[in-house]
Structure 1
Amino acid sequence: MMRHARRTDSQPGDAAPLAEWMELYGGDVIRLAYSYVHNFHKAEDIAQDVFLRAWQHYHEFQGHSSVKTWLLSITANRARDVLRSGAERRERADEGEAFAREVEPTDPADVVADKLARDAMWAAIRSLPETYREVMELYYGNDLTTHEVAEVLGIRDETVRTRLHRGRHLLERALAERGGMGVDHARG
């Protein structure tokens, strides 16, 4: 389900849009930040900074993209800034447990197999070069369209599709090396 926050003409200091953005897009922002820094606590710090900056600069938002795309663009830029600063290298990366999606309990063997496959796939995605990793994270992890990914990263739509295509091939190769698993090209 695609959720879009509406642009409200709020007054400076009005926290209502901030609360709405955090509720609607908080998970997406943290997930994207995590895909860069590989540390959940650092990703939370980046997310707080993103929402604060967005709220402070909301009057500059032109509405040419969705609020979600705008927030994810800020997130990508802020995460890159953190990586360039070197602060991230001094902190220990975690294993991504914070993003394990809840699975309805069925057969315990199926639950374990699904979790192992998902963990292997996201570990392989994290091992991709940043050019492909960020596109795949935005497209698959944040359910953005190729056009929205292009807006977030400031690149052309065709470039996104090319990087997705090449990233899938690299991912298939990485998964095959880790245990013979393939990639399902459908979202899910």
Structure 2
Amino acid sequence: MNKYEKDQLLEQVMVEYGNELVRLAFTYVKNSETAKDMVQNAFIKCYENLDDFRFDASIKTWLYRITINQCKDYLKSWHHKKVQAKHFIQDTAQNILPSAEHKVLAKSEQQEMKDFIFALPANDREVLYLHYYQSLKLEDIAEMTGVGLNTVKTRLRRAKQKLKRKLEEAAVYG
């Protein structure tokens, strides 16, 4: 593949999948700017490795896999842990005297649902997002995440059970 073809293909996949990949990355890193950085890095890796891509799978699946790996590597990094500690300290300080706007947002049902989903472990969040928000088939999720179909089914079932329990607890205590 020559440079022009690579440039054209990269531009096409950036337009076609960019927003989806940012949403996917956000489910991992929980920060929109960091999610955009993860996707940018994924596109760079895609471009660098296009000559090695055999087109055995779809390029979308390959991009999802690259993005997921980028996010997982980032979450393991020292930089992320340092940023998390900083945000925890800032959030704790803000929660002492929350603003009226913050109180309204915290009470909204949509925010509460996001909180419940983000409280789930990454593997559970991942399958929920890919299945319900990206409308992907379980087989595609298995291919993208690199785990078996039965593992995906188990994670999805477990994630739904955990989410149901959290919602029921919130209804009882809320």
Band the TM-score falls in, shorter-chain normalisation: 0.7 to 0.9
Aligned mates of 2:23, 2:150 — CA distance in 1: 24
C-alpha deviation, 1:67, in angstroms: 1.3
Report the counterpart of residue 165 of structure 1 in structure 2. Answer: 157
Aligned mates of 1:51, 1:151 — CA distance in 2: 19
Moved over 4 A (4+): none
Larger radius of gyration: 2
Cα 1:86–1:179, aligned 2, differ >3 Å: closer, same or farther? Answer: farther
Normalised TM-score (structure 2): 0.78
Report the counterpart of residue 140 of structure 2 in structure 1. Answer: 148
Report the counterpart of residue 12 of structure 1 in structure 2. Answer: 3
Q: Calculate percent identity across the aligned residue pairs.
A: 33
Q: Which runs of 5+ in 2 are unaligned?
A: 89-107
C-alpha deviation, 1:173, in angstroms: 1.0
Aligned mates of 2:170, 2:159 — CA distance in 1: 16
SS state at 1:80 partner: helix
State how 1:37-116 maps to structure 2 within 5 Å: 37-91=29-83, 92=87, 116=108
Letter in 2 for 1:90: K
The structure in which a higher percent of residues are helix is 2
RMSD across aligned C-alpha pairs, in angstroms?
2.1
Aligned mates of 1:149, 1:53 — CA distance in 2: 21
Q: Which runs of 5+ in 1 are unaligned?
A: 1-9, 94-115, 181-188
SS state at 1:63 partner: coil
C-alpha deviation, 1:117, in angstroms: 3.7
